[in-house]
């Protein structure tokens, strides 16, 4: 049995992503600071087990374990020549868990550096690095791409365009991390919701959203409402269709991280998470998963609550 394309599926309403990978790896004994992406080659069984747990919990899609799989991030671990291996293997593992009925999103995170003049990166270097990662993910069999946790809108834009350029027409989801700053939400680089939404949509993103950040559950709900009004305002100025062309997605953390013995802990329970997710869904966000601290239990609670 074939499945509908991811692009069509994203237009059909509620779509559940998975929860965290990084904090799950640590919960399974991986040392913090270890290159998580190398585990796609060194401990494929563990990565596969986490993907499968999310599919069993009710995720419609799993994200590849490649958040730090771009050339800049891998270079910090001395793995500059492993971009293709790591990303293609990761996509294969996610595909194995998702089978032919669920979806795989190739995960692309930030480089961890800044564009000139703030940092040393040049736009064309960024394009090359993101395109290299997207190509390797595509070779491993992804259904689309998800660009997450971005703070700089220029970097996010370049990532979207790079994934689009090599992605064989597959959809690209793009999200940034917001924190509450006074009455507003802004990324670490000072980008507000309206700017993020309009810039990412112009760059070609098929869905726009927010993930991670140091935000409480109530603030995520507030952020969801801001996203929906920003997308609606943009589409009303140009769209004739009632249907939103661009879907909105949210991957909240399991609450605001608290520091305990120097480690970030996330205290939100699966039920509390599901209650907030229901409010986010009611606001008009149709693609929902979890970021740091969320577990298969959180996704399972969310699936039960939203699917009844
Ligand atoms: Zn996170």
Residue 243 scores a pLDDT above 80: no
Residue 90 scores a pLDDT above 50: yes
Token couple for 128: 């090359």
Q: What is the mean pLDDT of residues 247-254?
A: 97
How far apart are the CA of 213 and the centre of ligand 1, in A?
Answer: 7
How far apart are the CA of 291 and the centre of ligand 1, in A?
Answer: 4
How far apart are the CA of 128 and the centre of ligand 1, in A?
Answer: 25
Residue 262 scores a pLDDT above 90: no
State what percent of residues in the chain have pLDDT above 70. 97
How far apart are the CA of 238 and the centre of ligand 1, in A?
Answer: 33
Amino acid 235: pLDDT? 83
Residue listed under structure tokens 């995960």? 107
Residue listed under structure tokens 């959203």? 209
Amino acid 261: pLDDT? 85
Q: What is the mean pLDDT of residues 234-248?
A: 70
pLDDT digits (tens, 9 = 90+) for 155-211: 999 999 999 999 999 999 999 999 999 889 999 999 999 999 999 999 999 999 999
How far apart are the CA of 22 and the centre of ligand 1, in A?
Answer: 8
44 or 260: whose pLDDT is higher?
A: 44
How far apart are the CA of 240 and the centre of ligand 1, in A?
Answer: 36
70 or 241: whose pLDDT is higher?
A: 70
How far apart are the CA of 110 and the centre of ligand 1, in A?
Answer: 12
Residue 240 scores a pLDDT above 60: no
CA separation for the pair 205, 185 (Å, rounded)? 21
**Residues facing residue 174 across a β-bridge:** 147, 208
Q: How confident is the model at residue 244 (pLDDT cuts 50, 70, 90)?
A: low
Instruction: Please calculate the CA angle 187-273-29 and round it to the nearest 5 degrees.
Output: 85
CA separation for the pair 7, 291 (Å, rounded)? 22
pLDDT digits (tens, 9 = 90+) for 106-128: 999 999 999 999 999 999 999 99
Token couple for 69: 């799989």
> What is the value of pTM for the model shown?
0.96
Residue in 212, 299, 293, 284 with CA at minimum distance from that of residue 24: 293
pLDDT digits (tens, 9 = 90+) for 28-50: 999 988 999 999 999 999 999 99
Q: How confident is the model at residue 241 (pLDDT cuts 50, 70, 90)?
A: very low
Instruction: Please calculate the CA angle 158-172-48 and round it to the nearest 5 degrees.
Output: 110
Residue 286 scores a pLDDT above 80: yes
Residue 1 scores a pLDDT above 70: no
What is the average pLDDT score of the chain? 94
- Show Cβ contacts of residue 292 under 8 Å, excluding neighbours closer than 6 positions: 20, 22, 23, 212, 253, 254, 257, 264, 266
- Show Cβ contacts of residue 116 under 8 Å, excluding neighbours closer than 6 positions: 122
229 or 263: whose pLDDT is higher?
A: 229
How far apart are the CA of 239 and the centre of ligand 1, in A?
Answer: 33
Measured over the CA atoms of residue 96, residue 74, residue 252 and residue 139, the dihedral's sign is negative
Token couple for 38: 């190398």
How far apart are the CA of 264 and the centre of ligand 1, in A?
Answer: 11
Q: What is the mean pLDDT of residues 231-252?
A: 78
Amino acid 214: pLDDT? 83
How far apart are the CA of 211 and the centre of ligand 1, in A?
Answer: 6
């Amino acid at each position: 049995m074939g499945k509908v394309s991811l692009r069509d599926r994203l237009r059909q309403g509620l779509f559940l992503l998975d929860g965290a990978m990084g904090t799950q790896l640590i919960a399974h004994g991986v040392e913090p600071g270890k290159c998580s992406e190398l585990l796609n080659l060194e401990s494929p069984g563990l990565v596969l087990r986490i993907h499968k747990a999310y599919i069993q919990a009710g995720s419609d899609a799993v994200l590849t374990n490649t958040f730090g799989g771009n050339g800049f991030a891998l270079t910090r671990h001395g793995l500059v020549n492993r971009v293709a291996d790591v990303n293609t293997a990761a996509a294969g593992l996610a595909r194995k868990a998702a089978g032919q009925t669920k979806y795989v999103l190739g995960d692309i995170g930030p480089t961890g550096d800044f564009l000139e003049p703030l940092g040393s990166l040049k736009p064309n270097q960024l394009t090359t690095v993101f395109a290299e990662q997207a190509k390797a993910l595509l070779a491993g069999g992804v259904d689309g791409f998800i660009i997450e946790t971005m703070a700089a809108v220029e970097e996010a834009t370049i990532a979207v365009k790079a994934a689009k350029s090599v992605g064989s027409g597959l959809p690209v989801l793009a999200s940034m991390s917001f924190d509450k700053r006074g009455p507003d939400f802004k990324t670490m680089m000072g980008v507000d919701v309206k700017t993020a939404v309009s810039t990412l949509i112009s760059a070609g993103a098929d869905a726009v959203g927010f993930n991670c950040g140091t935000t409480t559950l109530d603030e995520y709900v507030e952020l969801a409402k801001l996203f929906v009004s920003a997308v609606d305002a943009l589409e009303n100025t140009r769209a004739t269709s009632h249907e939103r062309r661009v879907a909105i997605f949210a991957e909240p953390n399991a609450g605001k991280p608290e520091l305990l013995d120097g480690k970030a802990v996330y205290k939100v329970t699966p039920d509390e998470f599901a209650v907030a997710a229901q409010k986010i869904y009611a606001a008009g966000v149709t693609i929902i998963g979890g970021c740091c601290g969320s577990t298969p239990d959180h996704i399972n609670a969310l699936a039960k609550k939203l699917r009844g």
